[in-house]
Structure 1
Amino acid sequence: MASSAASVLNRLLQNASRPKKPSQPPPSPSLILHHINSNNFAAAFSALFSIPTPLSIPLYSRLLRISASTRSLVDARHLESHIISTHHPRHPPTFLLNRTIETYAACGSLRDARELFDEMPRRNGGTWNAIISAYASAGHSHDAILLFSRMNKSGSSRPNDVSFACALGSCADLLALLLARQIHCLVLKYGFAKNVILSTSVVDVYGKCGIMSDARKVFDEMRERNAVSWNVIVRRYLEMNEGEEAVILFFTMIVDGVRPLNFTVSNALVACSDVSALKEGCQIHGIAVKLGFDGDHVVENSLMEMYAKNGLLEDARKLFDDSTSRDVVSWTSIISGYALCGRFAEAEKLFDSMPERNVVSWNAMLAGYVRCLCWGKALDFIFLMAKESEEMDNVSLKLILNVCAGVSDLELGKQVHGFVFRHGFCSNIFIGNALVDMYGKCGNLRSAELWFLSMASNRDKISWNALISGYTRHGRSEEALNAFGEMQWETTPNEFTCSTALAACANIFVLRHGKQIHAHMIRNDFNMDVIIQGALVDMYCKCRSIEYAINVFEQATSKDIILWNSMIMGCAYNGRGEFGLELFEMMLKDGTKADNVTFIAILLACITEGYVDLGHRYFNLMSDEFGIIPRVEHYECMIELLGKHGFMVELEDFIERMPFEPTTPMWMRIFDCCREHSYARLGERAERWINESNPLNPVEFNVCSGPAMEPS
């Protein structure tokens, strides 16, 4: 035992007398910096936990930027742990923790960002800006606004340009107009009125909320405007369908010497497409070339669209063929141009040649078929789309519902409605309006009413227009007028609403309501275009107020064929056939080409005035000089003209020359005229025809009075 203990003690003494190996020194911050400069980020973060002391603020900041750029949430958490553990727990560096919140947001972890924010013992304005910006950037606009409000109420930190910009952007996303006005007041109160970024944000939020008057007022008051400011105001006018103002502002920007962004040029070109401003579009093309945007892909696609929508398909096609960087947008633009102009052969050939398609490409073709009312092609294309494409958005569904309405296919419309319900499109107002319109046009007004009521607070004037139009189309004019009255408690009628309501008044001959609608349009300075004037003329004529109709007609600055026809037809129905014939001659001198409806009106005017020879001459001129093939309605008018005024021999000759056998209603009218004018031969022939076609209700020819008018 003693020798064993002595040997152990001896070994311990020998080990103690040996020199110790030097221990490995801990990594230094310079080593981390070396790894960073060598792009060896994994080694840099690995070395971090071997350093028990705080790093410098610039080095922490650099590591946080690397975590954000690589979206490495794990590394961001390691950095937060190191910052907190190496500093005094009551006094962690607020600046670095603010940057950590920003890093968590860049990594997509709002949860980590919010936990760090809530646990921070001290916060400053940068802390609030970081968390508000994190929520705003992630699309959590509601939470961003709540945090901004909390910051403002706390009083410990005053909002600055960053927090204001985030709050205004969130208001724009939520269309929170009232709150945006309050934040605008705070911007002015805290002296940021001259800040071009915030002023631009205010313009943006008012524009997105549809209050262009306020947006324009703020924009005009800005002392300094940069390219972004101009881009915002042009874009908002474009989105509000005020393309003319967007184009004017673009040229004002050029005159002011501000170089536009490529997006501004693109927006101005789209505005030219929308308002058919070809001349201005060509000028913008020239400006784009001078500024070096001719090779810009965004501008190039907008140029194609502008030329295509203005009918210059060859110019659009040249741009397309010369493009070296065609993408799905380029293909879709040129296809849309051909499709919307009705040149489906070229559009279909290009569509089949597309290297790739997206839902917009499919929609472009379908929109062309719908616009040109090619319902058969549209239906075939819908089935092809359902077979080959899994993509379908709210635009696709709206177009498909338009097709269902166009062909009155209620069953297909119901199937689309089911798809809408299953895939969560019910809350989309465009789809909702299309459903009301489809059910209304298909005659299922009960479903139209139920869906309209289900939209509740999500309704707009288009919803009301669809319902009112459905009532009017199917003869429920009183309900249409009731809906027109109720609509005014919820929203303001537009020109389409009033024209539809006027048609309802005409259907049930309610002159008083028609006059009230006319007065409403005058008081509210409505645009009395040719469609509205045609509706007014038709309403006044059908309500037997021909002088009012003539007054509206004479005040029209431009007259199309529909307005001329309405007025001539109205004169015929109101015993003013002579004036109607004068209007016809005026129409021809005005350069308006007559159509088949015009000649129905002319023949009715001749019936009213008893101008048999003139009516016969107009009937012959219709095909000889105007190239219009007579329809059944024209033959009915001629039978009425000849029969009513006793030209029975001529009537018999006319019937013999007709290219088809008279219809049963024609024979009934011929029978009545023959009985009235005692023309037995044709009357008995009409009697035989009527009795053979309808033996259950036979007629018998009896001479009423007057001498027989048989030819000698």
Structure 2
Amino acid sequence: MREREGAPSMAVTASSLVQRLIQHAVRPRNPTKARCGRPPDASPHSAILQHLAAGDIRAAIDVLSRSPSRFPPYVYSGLLQLCASRRALVAVRRIESHIISSCDPSTPSTFLLNRTIETYGRCGGIADALELFDEMPRRNGGTWNAVISACSGAGCAADAVFLFARMHCSGIRPNAVTFASVLGSCANLLALMLAKQVHGLILKFGFCVNVILGTSLVDVYGKCWIMDEAQKMFDEISNPNPVSWNVIVRRYLDLNMREEALVMFSKMIRVGVRPMSFTVSSALIACSDVSRLKAGCQIHGVVVKCGYGRDSIIESSLVEMYVKCGFLEYAQCVFNYSVSRDVVSWTSMLSGYVSCGRIYEAEFLFYEMPERNVVSWNSLLSGYVQSNCWDKAFEFFNEMLSEAEEIDVVTLGLMLNACSGLLDIEKGKQIHGFAYRNFCHHMLLFNNALLDMYAKCGNLKSSKVLFILMGCKRDTVSWNSLLTGYARHGRSEEAFNIFSLMLRENTPNEFTFSVMLSASPNIFMLDQGKQMHGYMIRNSIKIDVVIRAALVDVYCKCGLLDYALRVFNECSVRDIVLWNSLILGCAYLGRGDYSIELFQEMQKDGIRADDITFMGILHACIGAGFVSLGRWYFERMVSEYGVMPRLEHYQCMIEQLCKHGFLVELEEFIEQMPFEPTIPMWTKIYEYCTRHRYERLGEVASSRISHSF
């Protein structure tokens, strides 16, 4: 053909030859037949190329199967490329069969068989790729690269590592592609030591750390939680590309190192690298998790500048970022102007309203959604549960059963929380039965919620049986639920026995210690409280404000005010709970004067008193005999502090006036009460009136007590 066209042989390239063959194949030899719509005569070679150009893989394979002759390599390569794009595994097998049968069995084309292995990998036929690899009479470095890349790309990391070891033992030198593939497999296996050995081979063979290898090393060290090494390898890349930046940002994000992820994203922008949409999304997620609104707004500016404003992934991330930072108006603005509002962005807005307690707006948005998934349903259901709308939660659950396509273990867990809130163990048992019938009962999340429900409802026997049946699946949450149940129902000694067993099997967290410390004063177990305090210090467990308040409460109730003050003074940031614990503790120990001083210091720190604070102040005044001061604080609870007195506050005032003999003032106080004193109050009044011989009020108290029977 080249002689007819008069072209020099060296000027004919593969691409020009393909184009000429296609043109020759489609040019009708008989114009009459072409006009009549009859197919022109064509050789198998030309027919295959014509079908390839049309994307008709089935017709091309049929022509290939009917022809026993061997085709040029580019024909097979074109067929394999089309099969890879269509993931046509069966067609690849027919191509392999033709390649082997149409050539000398002892010397098949290694190049074509390598391409076949690669195509098997892209089509998910790893077993076929390995079988072909084992049967090949001749292999070269490309063969090993092909099979290792196929296994690595298909997620068969162990096979890829094993083949790399065989390749190394065979004396075949790997190249950069091989190393990148095996490093990816090490990352998937979290095989840190093996990754370090591969890193050593890279240095041994003199490979400079290029972008591909450097990015692979960053990825494997990051996935193995060695971010110092990952950062070091990233810094050695001379010109990191957007993929390299995306990997380092993502690895920091995966390890909850949000600030570091934002720092790397900021560096990428400063050096002028255009970020990938996935990198932008990762940076926005980091802003969401640490409530960095200013940084999120700056990234929003980068989104607009880079033209990513219509990317659905970034739009959803922007909505979520503004929602989690508490700026629903900004999130609503992004949502309203979004052109690709999908179920994810709708659900993000819904979750935002739920998290802010704006249930009515969340309801309106939910019923406006054009499409809902199980996450959407669960978001509104969680809103009802968090708002203590238990009955509404059950109504919505019934609606979900009739309309939603599915429910999941999160749904059932939320319903168990609703049962716990209602202390309705019968409904909890119904949810338990529903989960058992729908095969959800074996999931850890559901079992933990079920354990918590039984414990809170007081059925400690069922909770303990369930806990035992969970066996090795139970985690820290399981232990905490069981401990909370026993501590809440006053069975502190048993709770400590369970805690001792927990130390042998699991590691307690901050919540565990807050539960156990709250149980300690119930039976004045000072030694246990001290031991837990020491355990936390030795194991570097974070002592937050909640635990610190529990420690103060334990030491005060056990009579160790010095220990309580030491724990209190070690905290630089004190909340109302911590202040209340010490104020109540001092009042409990008869140090009412010090409780008043603490109250004044608390006001200087800008902490606003609540009803618990005034309970401590009134008890302090009772113990110290500050009757006038107690009345002064009681009168200013509403006017100055906006705290409505409860029954307990009135009980404190009655006890204070009775105990110190202010019975005339007591009579005036009773007349001004917005409700009738309770029988326990009248009993105390009668007791002190008899003691101080105040007959008039004593007769009234006696009359009220007698009429109650």
Fold equivalence (TM over 0.5)? yes
Gaps of 5+ in 1: 1-23, 695-712
Matching residue within 73, 82, 88 for 1:66: 82
Shift in alpha-carbon separation, 1:367–1:231, aligned structure 2, 3 A: farther
Q: Secondary structure at the match of 1:259?
A: coil
Question: In the alignment, is the contact (CA less than 8 A) between 2:192 and 2:224 conserved in 1?
Answer: no
Question: In the alignment, is the contact (CA less than 8 A) between 1:129 and 1:162 conserved in 2?
Answer: yes
The equivalent residue for 1:400 is 415
Q: Which moved more, 1:366-375 or 1:644-653?
A: 366-375
Alignment-mate amino acid for residue 81 of structure 2: R
Q: Aligned partners of 2:474, 2:236: CA distance in 1, in Å? A: 35
Asked if 1:676 corresponds to 2:697, the answer is no
Matching residue within 450, 453, 466 for 1:438: 453
Q: Number of aligned pairs?
A: 667
Q: Which moved more, 1:352-361 or 1:458-467?
A: 458-467
Q: Aligned partners of 2:504, 2:211: CA distance in 1, in Å? A: 40
Pairwise CA distance, 1:190: 4.0
Question: In the alignment, is the contact (CA less than 8 A) between 1:335 and 1:364 conserved in 2?
Answer: yes
Matching residue within 460, 464, 467 for 1:449: 464
1:313-392 aligned within 5 A: 313-392=328-407
Shift in alpha-carbon separation, 1:671–1:189, aligned structure 2, 3 A: farther
Asked if 1:477 corresponds to 2:477, the answer is no
Q: Aligned partners of 1:613, 1:605: CA distance in 2, in Å? A: 12
Shift in alpha-carbon separation, 1:610–1:522, aligned structure 2, 3 A: same
Q: Secondary structure at the match of 1:614?
A: helix
Asked if 1:264 corresponds to 2:242, the answer is no
Q: Aligned partners of 1:397, 1:122: CA distance in 2, in Å? A: 58
Matching residue within 185, 189, 214 for 2:197: 185
The equivalent residue for 2:69 is 53
Q: Aligned partners of 2:548, 2:670: CA distance in 1, in Å? A: 39
Shift in alpha-carbon separation, 1:25–1:246, aligned structure 2, 3 A: closer
Per-residue displacement from partner, 1:221-274 (whole Å, max 9, x unpaired)? 666643333323333433444433332332233334433221111121122122
Alignment-mate amino acid for residue 574 of structure 2: K
The equivalent residue for 1:467 is 482
Pairwise CA distance, 1:331: 1.3
Q: Aligned partners of 1:190, 1:457: CA distance in 2, in Å? A: 42
Matching residue within 611, 614, 636 for 2:651: 636
Q: Secondary structure at the match of 1:258?
A: coil
Q: Aligned partners of 2:187, 2:415: CA distance in 1, in Å? A: 31
Q: Which moved more, 1:303-312 or 1:602-611?
A: 303-312
Asked if 1:311 corresponds to 2:326, the answer is yes
1:547-586 aligned within 5 A: 547-586=562-601
Shift in alpha-carbon separation, 1:683–1:416, aligned structure 2, 3 A: same
Pairwise CA distance, 1:363: 2.6
Pairwise CA distance, 1:355: 0.9
Q: Secondary structure at the match of 2:309?
A: coil
Question: In the alignment, is the contact (CA less than 8 A) between 1:537 and 1:550 conserved in 2?
Answer: yes
The equivalent residue for 1:232 is 247
Q: Which moved more, 1:354-363 or 1:43-52?
A: 43-52
Shift in alpha-carbon separation, 1:399–1:189, aligned structure 2, 3 A: farther
Q: Which moved more, 1:591-600 or 1:658-667?
A: 658-667
Q: Secondary structure at the match of 1:594?
A: coil
1:481-560 aligned within 5 A: 481-560=496-575
Matching residue within 635, 638, 652 for 1:620: 635
Alignment-mate amino acid for residue 267 of structure 2: T
Q: Aligned partners of 1:454, 1:146: CA distance in 2, in Å? A: 39
Q: Aligned partners of 2:225, 2:490: CA distance in 1, in Å? A: 36
Pairwise CA distance, 1:574: 0.9
Q: Aligned partners of 1:483, 1:664: CA distance in 2, in Å? A: 40
The equivalent residue for 1:11 is none
Q: Which moved more, 1:401-410 or 1:308-317?
A: 401-410
Q: Aligned partners of 2:221, 2:473: CA distance in 1, in Å? A: 20
Shift in alpha-carbon separation, 1:571–1:33, aligned structure 2, 3 A: same
Shift in alpha-carbon separation, 1:624–1:543, aligned structure 2, 3 A: same
Gaps of 5+ in 2: 1-39
Q: Aligned partners of 1:193, 1:395: CA distance in 2, in Å? A: 49
Shift in alpha-carbon separation, 1:338–1:547, aligned structure 2, 3 A: same
Question: In the alignment, is the contact (CA less than 8 A) between 1:168 and 1:180 conserved in 2?
Answer: no
The equivalent residue for 1:605 is 620
1:107-256 aligned within 5 A: 107-139=123-155, 144=159, 147-148=162-163, 151=166, 155=170, 162=177, 165-166=180-181, 168-170=183-185, 172-173=187-188, 176-177=189-190, 179-191=191-203, 194=209, 196-205=211-220, 207-208=222-223, 215=230, 219=234, 225-256=240-271
Question: In the alignment, is the contact (CA less than 8 A) between 2:186 and 2:195 conserved in 1?
Answer: no
Q: Which moved more, 1:377-386 or 1:203-212?
A: 203-212
Q: Secondary structure at the match of 2:406?
A: coil
Q: Aligned partners of 2:680, 2:163: CA distance in 1, in Å? A: 76
Q: Aligned partners of 1:487, 1:193: CA distance in 2, in Å? A: 51
Per-residue displacement from partner, 1:505-557 (whole Å, max 9, x unpaired)? 23332223323333333344444432232222222212211122222223322
Shift in alpha-carbon separation, 1:510–1:394, aligned structure 2, 3 A: same
Asked if 1:281 corresponds to 2:296, the answer is yes
Q: Which moved more, 1:407-416 or 1:583-592?
A: 407-416
Q: Aligned partners of 2:180, 2:467: CA distance in 1, in Å? A: 38
Q: For the aligned residues, what is the CA RMSD?
A: 3.2
Q: Aligned partners of 1:525, 1:477: CA distance in 2, in Å? A: 25
Asked if 1:35 corresponds to 2:64, the answer is no
TM-score under structure 1 length normalisation: 0.84
Alignment-mate amino acid for residue 352 of structure 1: Y
Question: In the alignment, is the contact (CA less than 8 A) between 1:341 and 1:368 conserved in 2?
Answer: no
Q: Which moved more, 1:548-557 or 1:117-126?
A: 117-126
Asked if 1:101 corresponds to 2:113, the answer is no
Alignment-mate amino acid for residue 325 of structure 2: N
Matching residue within 84, 96, 103 for 2:100: 84
Q: Secondary structure at the match of 1:49?
A: helix
Alignment-mate amino acid for residue 480 of structure 1: A
Q: Aligned partners of 1:360, 1:495: CA distance in 2, in Å? A: 29
Alignment-mate amino acid for residue 564 of structure 1: W
Pairwise CA distance, 1:455: 4.1
Q: Aligned partners of 2:706, 2:172: CA distance in 1, in Å? A: 97
Q: Aligned partners of 1:193, 1:513: CA distance in 2, in Å? A: 59
Per-residue displacement from partner, 1:90-124 (whole Å, max 9, x unpaired)? 33333323332333344444454444344444445
Q: Aligned partners of 2:133, 2:413: CA distance in 1, in Å? A: 45
Question: In the alignment, is the contact (CA less than 8 A) between 1:26 and 1:50 conserved in 2?
Answer: no
Shift in alpha-carbon separation, 1:628–1:270, aligned structure 2, 3 A: same
Question: In the alignment, is the contact (CA less than 8 A) between 2:57 and 2:83 conserved in 1?
Answer: no
Q: Which moved more, 1:349-358 or 1:455-464?
A: 455-464
- Determine what percentage of the aligned residue pairs are the same residue: 55
Q: Aligned partners of 1:456, 1:656: CA distance in 2, in Å? A: 61
Q: Secondary structure at the match of 2:371?
A: coil
The equivalent residue for 2:4 is none
Q: Which moved more, 1:525-534 or 1:259-268?
A: 525-534
Pairwise CA distance, 1:62: 0.8
Pairwise CA distance, 1:425: 4.4
Question: In the alignment, is the contact (CA less than 8 A) between 2:384 and 2:393 conserved in 1?
Answer: yes
Pairwise CA distance, 1:82: 0.7
Q: Which moved more, 1:331-340 or 1:681-690?
A: 681-690
Alignment-mate amino acid for residue 652 of structure 2: C
Shift in alpha-carbon separation, 1:53–1:538, aligned structure 2, 3 A: same
Pairwise CA distance, 1:603: 0.7
Alignment-mate amino acid for residue 183 of structure 1: A
Alignment-mate amino acid for residue 479 of structure 1: E
Shift in alpha-carbon separation, 1:185–1:292, aligned structure 2, 3 A: same
Shift in alpha-carbon separation, 1:534–1:197, aligned structure 2, 3 A: farther
Pairwise CA distance, 1:353: 0.8
TM-score under structure 2 length normalisation: 0.85
Q: Aligned partners of 2:45, 2:592: CA distance in 1, in Å? A: 102
Shift in alpha-carbon separation, 1:25–1:633, aligned structure 2, 3 A: closer
Pairwise CA distance, 1:581: 1.1
Q: Aligned partners of 2:495, 2:243: CA distance in 1, in Å? A: 47
